Structure 1
Amino acid sequence: MSGKRSIFEDVSETSKLEAVQPGMIDRGRGGARRGIRVWLMALFVLVMAMIVVGGLTRLTDSGLSITEWKPLTGAVPPTSEVEWQAEFDKYKQIDQWEIQNQWMELSDFKSIYWWEWGHRQLGRAIGLVWALGFFGFLIARQIPTGWTGRLFLLGLLGGAQGGIGWWMVASGVTQGEGMVAVASYRLATHLGLAFVILGFITWYFYMMGRSERDLMQARRAKEAKLFGLSTGVLHFAFLQILLGALVAGIDAGRGYTDWPLMAGQVIPPDPLVLEPIWRNFFENAGLVQFIHRCAGYLLFAFGVVVWLRGRASAHRQTQFAFNAMFCALLLQIVLGIVTVLYSAQWHIAITHQLMAVILWALILRARFLSLYPIATSVRGHSA
């Protein structure tokens, strides 16, 4: 405790005063936030690449070329002609080869094998990057308070994604069932979980960019209405992504290449031709594409409403985030139309899928700034 001071002491000549202590909110919570953000960004890029490679694997009909799931030993590809022939013989036992690819020689099989092997190898790389980063920060005690469970969740979801990936592939590795592709609903589940993982990574990246004290203070200025609307857009976009996966799973994007009509009609012909009726919503190319189109129109209309509300935000960076989100949504709809008109050519279809990732991140950014706005001064500088 400091000693008594004279009432006549000149304050300007006071000896060393104790430095003002910062608030206690962030004490002991900092951790390696910058390093973790770099790690999260690396995971984001890898998962985005995984989505693109997965799309190319589907577009090249390569997903069933590896008929077994070997998480560890499968990392080593065939190294001799004998091993290659053994893999090819396994492939010859499934329906896809029997019905669709009997024309293939070993050299043709190798080309589709490398696509699927690369897709699985990228999944292993993501798991390794997550493990090295998570356990490295954990051992070094650099994970901020309250973040261990969140970052561990990414690993759990990644492990589940590997299992769901095989569950998806197994639906097409059949004998005598007439299956030449994976089940579309399983493909939708696989892609949907990829976007969930991407969503968590993105959200954590945004949160790690600001201190705990800053986030607590910013939340007091939360724009609840805007946050609710952006959450609605997020959920609607996720539904549209799942519908897009159903379209891709049955190649429905190549069946009706006119727009805005479908085969010259508003509603495509024979929308409920399959029995039982529920199968049409998963397997009828015309109906599945029609639902995807209608959902796109509704998402655009809802996006306009949310964008107009976002423009009225009191925070400049929040306004910019909603402008960016709307521009991405507009571009994505144009790409969707072009994809249909050009019969889902692989380079257009992949661009459409990649744009979905960008739109997803921008929706999350707008939602984040609705919850944690960045205050700006009258002159427009961050407070």
Structure 2
Amino acid sequence: MRVWLIVVAALIGAIVLVGGATRLTESGLSIVEWKPITGALPPLSEAAWQAEFEKYKTIPQYEAINKGMALQDFKTIYLWEWGHRLLGRVIGAAFLLPFLWFLWRGAIRGGLRWRLWGIFALGGIQGAVGWWMVASGLTQRISVSPYRLAFHLTLACLIFAAIVWTLQRLSGAVPLDANTRIRRTAVALLALVILQIYIGGLVAGLDAGMNYNTWPLIDGAIMPSCERLLFLSPLWKNFFENDLTVQFVHRCTAYAIWLLAVFHAVDATRARRGAVSTAHALAAMVTLQAAIGIATLLAGTPIGLALFHQGGAVVTLGIATWHAARLTQRVPAEHLSAIPAST
């Protein structure tokens, strides 16, 4: 069962990267229909390819960005999106078929059974959310809605985190004794990483990573003027639709995560309680991820670095999830004396 869930988690990490590449290559709107069954096959003849191309020509993105493109160029962006959707189908099968087999063998019982059914249900919802996202760019926009893109990305990462959390519970690791502050900090770090992924989705949706490519200054200052940060009305829209504000919040959240991760690692080391090794791993990964983000920004968001940064977010989430799950395991009072203080 652990091997099965590791494979599914790895596939989810892969689809996040493929989704990022699909976004960066402007390929996400190349398939204008949702066909869950028949869409598993790409066009198999030149006539079928031409028919798909003609459908793409009817949407605003073609007129605004790709008007006059060759059929061969269309095939390239189509295959990115088709591969993304195909991988989603593979993940569904890779989860469901072994799950049903384990259920049939009686290997999954009680709360674990309902948790895994819940994860599968989230996967089904994710497929619908993916089409909901694509549909937002087919009529009046030339790209998908940043709101829907961020939600789609975050839901994928929540499913990934749920699988990692379940894996930790199945790992057989000995529960750890830790003080309340260390436990709460671990959970807070996990929550902040998920929030940062959502904000990163907004950055991607607004192409905000391609603007303001300086660091540590942004728009010529450490703190941009309020007139630039908060000019949209109502005020809340700035945090979702103003590319400067969204990128600035993304940076500030990164600083907060880094400071908290370093404090947490030092705190766990001094207390000699809690998962010290994973606290250190999390602080190191957060530091590396911040460095990759800065490098990506300064380089003008090239696709290679951007995908490296997105992959780093998944790895960071995985470590943060495992760490929080390990520290929140219930520790029977009668077993505390036998539990190691640090690992």
The SS at the match of 2:215 is coil
The SS at the match of 2:275 is helix
Q: Which has the higher contact order (CA 8 A, sep 6+)?
A: 2
Is contact 1:313-1:319 (8 Å) kept?
A: no
Letter in 1 for 2:147: Y
Task: Name the CA shift for 1:43/1:319 in 2 (closer, same or farther; >3 Å).
Answer: same
1:308 and 2:266 are equivalent in the alignment: yes
Shift of 1:268: 4.0
Shift of 1:146: 3.0
Gaps of 5+ in 1: 1-35
Q: How does 1:74-93 map to 2 (within 5 A)?
A: 74-93=39-58
CA distance in 1, matches of 2:180, 2:217: 39
CA distance in 2, matches of 1:166, 1:75: 15
Shift of 1:308: 1.7
CA distance in 2, matches of 1:65, 1:150: 35
Taking structure 1 as the reference length, the TM-score comes to 0.83
Shift of 1:226: 1.3
CA distance in 2, matches of 1:298, 1:314: 24
The structure 2 residue matched to 1:362, chosen from 310, 319, 329, is: 319
1:202 and 2:173 are equivalent in the alignment: no
The structure 1 residue matched to 2:31, chosen from 62, 66, 73, is: 66
CA distance in 1, matches of 2:224, 2:131: 34
Is contact 2:168-2:326 (8 Å) kept?
A: no
The residue number in structure 1 matching 2:99 is 134
Percent sequence identity over aligned pairs: 42
Q: How does 1:203-222 map to 2 (within 5 A)?
A: 203-210=165-172, 218=175, 221-222=177-178
Shift of 1:236: 1.0
CA distance in 2, matches of 1:148, 1:92: 46
Letter in 2 for 1:248: A
CA distance in 2, matches of 1:280, 1:324: 34
Cα displacement string for residues 116-145 of structure 1 (whole angstroms, at most 9, x for unaligned residues)? 000000000000011111101111111144
CA distance in 2, matches of 1:250, 1:128: 33
The structure 2 residue matched to 1:340, chosen from 286, 297, 310, is: 297
The residue number in structure 2 matching 1:324 is 281
Gaps of 5+ in 2: 332-337
CA distance in 2, matches of 1:278, 1:327: 33
CA distance in 1, matches of 2:253, 2:212: 17
The SS at the match of 1:100 is helix
The residue number in structure 1 matching 2:334 is none
Higher helix share: 2
Cα displacement string for residues 263-313 of structure 1 (whole angstroms, at most 9, x for unaligned residues)? 322344633344554433222221211111111112222222222222234
Letter in 1 for 2:267: R
Task: Name the CA shift for 1:209/1:103 in 2 (closer, same or farther; >3 Å).
Answer: same
The structure 2 residue matched to 1:280, chosen from 231, 238, 244, is: 238
Is contact 2:239-2:246 (8 Å) kept?
A: yes
Taking structure 2 as the reference length, the TM-score comes to 0.92
Is contact 2:261-2:279 (8 Å) kept?
A: no
Shift of 1:189: 0.4
Pair member with larger Rg = 1
Shift of 1:364: 1.6
The structure 1 residue matched to 2:194, chosen from 220, 238, 253, is: 238
Shift of 1:61: 0.4
Cα displacement string for residues 48-96 of structure 1 (whole angstroms, at most 9, x for unaligned residues)? 0010000000000000000011111110111111111111111001010
